[in-house]
Each structure stands twice: as structure tokens, then as C-alpha cells.
Amino acid sequence: MDCPCGRPQLTSRFGPAGRFIRGPAFTLIELLIVIAILATLAALLLPALTRAKESAQRVRCASNLRQVGTGFRMYLDDYQRYPYLNDAWVWVNYANNTRAGWWDSKVLPYAANNPGVFLCPANSLVKGDPQTNWWMLDPAGKEMPSWSYGYNAAGTRWNASCLQNGGPGEFLFFGLGGWCRMVDPTAWQGLAESAVRVPADMVAIIDYDLTATDRFEETYWTPRYYPLPLYEAALGGKAGRHARGLNALCCDSHVEYAKTNVWTSESQKLRWNHNHQPQR
């Protein structure tokens, strides 16, 4: 439409130029519907994102364990024996307990001296920090092994008769912990590689939420230090960070994943012992 002066009048899509015509606003019901739709979408997407994150952490954990397994294999090639849980065997001389004595410190040089491979990214206790994961103090102020993975030193149980007799070749541990000779309590030998009957079927290292207090037991030694069998700890519900499951490195250096209740089932007990017997 032209103005009286003969010039065309400029208009916008909303009305005459320079004027804003307010359109209809959202009603409260419409706003609530939009919010409900967004909440529904979030409820659908967040579990999927959480599962994707958990799956990625499990894959990274398995990758780290494979690198540990490579180092473990190189250690065995050099020594033909599995490392002790701790060199000092702290019930013999607890004052000798140092970080360098633990099993993971023995494998570390064979893993490019990278403590990060001993970190499970799903371990919420250390918040992804390799140094926090590597250093831990027990209640007595002594240095402990890494927080993420446990070493299967004990198996499903240990051999009490060895404490009484202690003859050569008598195994205190049914895991990888070695044998004792009680007439000379410093004479420990790591378990020979050949003593593991089925390496592909035996757990060597597994996801484990280490705490200082689960390292003490009220029997036999002062300060009554004893590594709780990982099997019993997992059975008690202390493990299962990957969707209620665990990654495990076996003695032949391959990695497996299974639910915690599978690892700790009666049928799996033999997988924790070097003689491939359930030791009930």
C-alpha cells in the first residue's frame, strides 16, 4: 500500500517497518510438554551414554592388563618363577616392607616403567590418577601395591599344614605366592612357572578394589599381616567395577572378562589355584 505522498510504504513480515508485533506466547501447558519431552529424551539417552562410557573403561582396563601381561611374561622369561606378593614377607620382618618389594614393582621395569598400566580407569577411588593408584599407605604407614589390580598370591585358600611342617616343596599358597620352609622363615621361593598346570585357565591378576584394612588378619602373625585371597574378597562383594564384572589376566597373558558371580562360582574355584584343583 502506498502512502499519500506517493512513495511505497516499507513493511516487515511482522508489520510496518520499525514496529514489532508480538506473536502468541507459549502457554504453561505447552512449556510443560516441551520439558517433559526433553526429560524423556534425557532418560533414554543417559543410560546409553553411561553404558558406552563403562564399555570404553572396560576396554581400556583390558588393554592395560595386556600390557601388564607382556611385562609379566618377560619377568617369567628371566626368572622362570612368579614374583612374591612382597619380597619381605612382612610377617617375617614387617619393618622391611617397601614399595619396591611388591609384585607390581617387580613387573614394572618390564612394562616400560610406566605405572599407568597398573591403573584401571573405572577405579573411582583414584580418580584416574596413576600416581595416586601407585602409592598407598597401610594403617602402619607402610607402602602398599597399586589400588586397581590384585595379585592372586593365595588362591582360594592357603595350606595351614605348611605352617606346621614347612618342608621344601610345601606350598603355603595355592595361588602364585610360592612355598615356605618354616625352619628358616626367610627361605621363600617364588612359585615355579612349571608348577602352574593350566596357565591359560589360571587367574594371575584381576580387578580388585584394594583397601588398607583388608590386608590384616587376626591369626598367626604380628602384625597379623596376610593377603586375603582375592577369591574370598570378590565373593564378599568387594569387586565388580565393570558392570558388576571383572577383567582378569591369566597366566598365559590373555585377558578375560566375566561377571563377578561367575569368577567366584564353585565351578571356577580351580582357576584360582596353581594345581588346577578347587581346594574346597
pLDDT in tens, 185-224: 555 667 889 999 999 999 999 988 765 445 444 333 333 3
Q: Which of 172, 253, 277 is nearest to 205 (CA)?
A: 253
pLDDT of residue 74: 96
Chain-centroid distance of CA 124 in Å reads 10
Residue that has been written with the C-alpha cell 622362570 in this structure:
80
Residue type, 177: G
pLDDT at 238 over 50: yes
Helix (H) or strand (E) holding 260: helix 260-263
Structure confidence at residue 139 as a pLDDT band (50, 70, 90)? low
Examine the pLDDT at 90 and tell me if it is beyond 70: no
Q: Calculate mean pLDDT across residues 175-190.
A: 64
CB 206 within 8 A of CB 152: yes
| pTM (2 d.p.) | 0.75
The cell for 48 is 546409553
Residue 166 pLDDT: 52
pLDDT band at 73 (very low <50, low <70, confident <90, very high): very high
pLDDT of res. 216: 41
As a whole-number percent, the residues of the chain with pLDDT over 90 amount to 28
* pLDDT confidence band for 120 (50 / 70 / 90): very high
Most confident option among 12-21, 56-65, 205-214, 220-229: 56-65
